[in-house]
Amino acid sequence: MRDENQLHAAVVELVALEDAEIKYSTVQNWYPGDENGVGGIYNFVTKRAECRGARSKVTWTQVETGSAITWKYPSCVLLGDDSVGEFHSVALTHHRQQADTGTKMIHVGKRTKSKIVSKGISAGRGQNTYRGLVKVDRNADGARNYTQ
């Protein structure tokens, strides 16, 4: 155990070309600090995916159970026609943990689809915040989104 906080700052970038499919999964269980909020990891992560090609697909799956503070918002830019982006997330917090998570789906290509399923569970003084953005470009004819 440490009394001081430590930093984890990561960057992930995915690029899916024509007919490609990428599945990226993360289970994060960094040290959360003690029940009084002393110590723990600050987990600040940048994640971005581009579906550049037609019929490309990216699926983000994440489980957050650790760290004192987590900020994580994977994004998916759907550039290719008929491209698909999916985001599945569960964040569990307890004691004094904070999880600020969500995703961005940006529809640019035609007939693009996105799906967002995000759940947060807090116990004790744990906190969960969800931030989501679905943006549809004016030329993204036939774009569809499902968010839960």
Q: What is the pTM of this model?
A: 0.91
* Dist. CA 53–CA 60, nearest whole Å: 18
Count of CB atoms within 10 A of residue 133's CB? 12
Closest CA to 25 of 53, 59, 70: 59
DSSP state of 24: E
Count of CB atoms within 10 A of residue 74's CB? 25
Spatial neighbors of 60 by CB under 8 A, at least 6 apart, are 24, 47, 49, 74, 76, 86, 87, 88, 89, 103
Per-residue pLDDT tens listing for the chain (148 residues): 667 889 999 999 999 999 999 999 999 999 898 888 888 999 999 999 999 999 999 999 999 998 999 999 999 999 999 999 999 999 999 999 999 999 999 999 999 999 999 999 999 999 999 999 999 999 999 999 999 9
* CA count, 13 A, side-chain hemisphere, 144: 7
